[in-house]
Amino acid sequence: MDATRIIAIRHGETAWNVDTRIQGHLDIPLNDTGRWQARRVGAALAGEELSAIYASDLGRAHQTAQAVADRIGLPVMADVGLRERAFGTFEGRTFAEIEADWPDQALLWRKRDPAFEPAGGESLLRFRERIVGTLNRLAARHSGGQIVLVGHGGVMDVLYRAATGQELQAPRTWALGNAAINRLLWTPEALTLVGWADTAHLDDGAALDEISA
């Protein structure tokens, strides 16, 4: 099976990104900055040869993917497997509110305990299994081609760790900016990092780096 080239993109900015409010599976739209970022991503990828464009079914990711689709002339195919990690009772709350209301759970979250699940949410272990499984399924479908995957901060984090061998609990030292362009190479045997956190198309704007969206 031939390799599949992956362009992975975190959605553009939302008002809740700015507020450091956990979105998870809540469907929060892009703000004005996020819509501008999405258009810039679309322009940056206008010359790419793509086999398909996939996005999380949540609006902030789908809106971002649509800006690419408008330039390329392909449809956006929604895939629930690309959703952000489910944060259950944490969703809708700010980092500070979580620390104040559930200090013990907040500590497990901050330590990246792989087995910790907020009530009604996903553990990092289950989340990684879902994202890697989705990647393998979609990449295998387009062997020899190039696809775009538009997801969320947590999705990008899992992909980076999968490509570099970083453990789930390892502290993050890599950027996960809104609307950054990340490139990977997939084969059935391995996922390889090609380029990460390209924000040249956003040079005259800011891209927040935050993993909870």
11 labelled catalytic: yes
Burial 57-96 (b: 16+ CB within 10 A, else e): bbbbbbbbbbbbbebbebebebbebbbbbbbebbbebebe
Instruction: Enumerate residues 6+ apart whose C-beta is below 8 A from 100.
Output: none
Catalytic residue selected from 11, 142, 152, 201: 11
Distance between CA atoms of 74 and 52, rounded to whole angstroms?
7
CA distance 132 to 92: 26
CA-CA-CA-CA torsion sign (200, 187, 154, 57): positive
Q: Which of 13, 84, 91, 122 is catalytic?
A: 84
C-alpha Rg value of the chain to the nearest Å = 16
Catalytic residue status for 84: yes
Q: Which residues are catalytic?
A: 11, 84
